[in-house]
Chain A
Amino acid sequence: GQSLEQPSEVTAVEGAIVQINCTYQTSGFYGLSWYQQHDGGAPTFLSYNALDGLEETGRFSSFLSRSDSYGYLLLQELQMKDSASYFCAVRGNQGGKLIFGQGTELSVKP
């Protein structure tokens, strides 16, 4: 089967840096995606890593280590609007779907 593990909650202060970790177990691996979801809103794509290393997109970066079955999302210069749930996701074995983790709820405090 496939499974992903993330911390359920993370709290940080405005302006700080926070890292949200994700470990996965999957029989075939093709990449790791990250999504953001504000309360009551739709999931929004943030990033995708197919290869090892760091991908940077503005204040957000995502890292992947395939040998460790591990990735993380790094959020810098935290803002109050970053308070949301963050999900990591991998592709399903049959290729057509995403399997999501249970999500990490990030609370940014002033």
Chain B
Amino acid sequence: DTGVSQNPRHKITKRGQNVTFRCDPISEHNRLYWYRQTLGQGPEFLTYFQNEAQLEKSRLLSDRFSAERPKGSFSTLEIQRTEQGDSAMYLCASSLAGTGVYEQYFGPGTRLTVT
């Protein structure tokens, strides 16, 4: 297994455009997480899935953000009507359920720049 992969690695978009990111987790992991990270800060939780069910969503996540994991494998994160404040690194992680929450495997991230 090659680990968690994310695409694209970089995305530059104009304010008001929609963007979609993809995450492919480690195949045997049933949990998938999305985090956002800005410079000098720790990863900030956005949402997570167990299999195909979205079990928790951060209150920080506005209605412009939506995530799916349709078959319990890969996941997509969509941001509609992007704003400059959305510029950040978007990290995906996966783990096993239970105590696996403490040992998450992160992908390389998608760096979003909104101009």
List the interface of chain A (C-beta within 8 A of B): 31, 33, 41-45, 48, 50, 87, 89, 91-92, 94-103
Given that A96-B101, A97-B48, A99-B45 are contacting pairs, would A42 and B56 also be in contact in the complex, using a CB cutoff of 8 Å?
Answer: no
* 24 A-B contacts (beta carbon < 8 Å): A33-B103, A42-B4, A42-B107, A42-B108, A43-B93, A43-B104, A45-B103, A48-B103, A87-B43, A89-B42, A91-B101, A92-B45, A92-B56, A96-B31, A96-B33, A96-B55, A96-B56, A97-B48, A98-B43, A100-B42, A100-B44, A101-B42, A102-B41, A103-B41
A98 in contact with B56 (CB, 8 Å): no
Given that A102-B41, A102-B42 are contacting pairs, would A94 and B56 also be in contact in the complex, using a CB cutoff of 8 Å?
Answer: yes
How far is B99's CA from A92's CA once the two chains are assembled, in angstroms?
12
Interface class of chain A by DSSP:
loop
Closest Cβ of chain B to A101, distance in Å, is 6
B42 in contact with A97 (CB, 8 Å): no
